[in-house]
Amino acid sequence: MKIGKVIVMVVAVVVLTALGYGLASWFLGKPDQNAEGATQLEQTLAQLSSDTAATDGEYAVGDRLSGNADKDNKKATVFDPAFPELQWDNLMPADWDPMAAFRGLNIAELQDNDPKAQEALEKMRKAWNDAPVNTAYTGKKVRIPGFAIPIEQSEKGVDELLLVPYFGACIHTPPPPANQIIHVKLSEPQPAVGAMQAYWVWGELTASKFSSELGDAAYLLSATGIQPYED
């Protein structure tokens, strides 16, 4: 499965990052620091990590949600059939290889501060930020389970979020490819959406680029519904 390859590659990126490179400074540059000495990104990551740590420990970094595909009829959550379940793998075109940027690179041979590590990271990040969409699903009504990362809030609650396929993505690990991040705009603000909480989200999916400090999304889901995911 492609998403499995993505998770393996994220682990490889963490290894590369450990070879003398700070991921945040590499990926995002060096934004201005505030009076306390911490960048806005660092504050956001710290808050999100705190929210994640406050969960019940049900998931570990890299865990994915099975959706209804692996459940029998008694356990499967009932949804409006107008919003069929979408698998994360299907968001990646069949002919797209998420590992192509690392072909020919032997990570085990790299040393601290090896320029090849920096070059590989830059090549991978560009390839993943520009990851292509699967046009077969654009303009379709879909339903998909994932982990939420709130990005916009109003006085009434969360208006927008990023949805990612595995626990810890964008917070404890580098961002997945853009075609594995969905920018979700909610039809109504939700009062309590925590970082890395699991949800079902449904609505109309379109191809739309969205960039943030936490990752780039290739899809937009104009959501008409959201509810907590239950195993």
Query: Does the pTM of the predicted model rise above 0.85?
Result: no
Question: What is the CA 123 to chain-centroid distance, rounded?
Answer: 19
Kindly report the CATH number assigned to the domain that includes residue 194.
2.40.50.870
What total of structural domains would you count in the chain? 1
Does pLDDT of 38 surpass 70?
A: no
In this predicted model, what pLDDT tens digit does every residue of 104-121 receive, in sequence order? Answer: 777 667 666 778 777 777
Cβ within 8 Å of residue 9, ≥6 positions away:
98, 99, 102, 124
In this predicted model, what pLDDT tens digit does every residue of 40-52 receive, in sequence order? Answer: 444 444 444 444 4
Question: Which of 6-15, 38-47, 50-59, 116-125 is predicted least confidently?
Answer: 38-47
Q: Is 176 left (phi over 0), alpha (psi -120 to 50) or beta?
A: beta
Q: What is the DSSP string of 175-193?
A: ---GGG-EEEEEEEEES--
Host domain of residue 53: 2-228
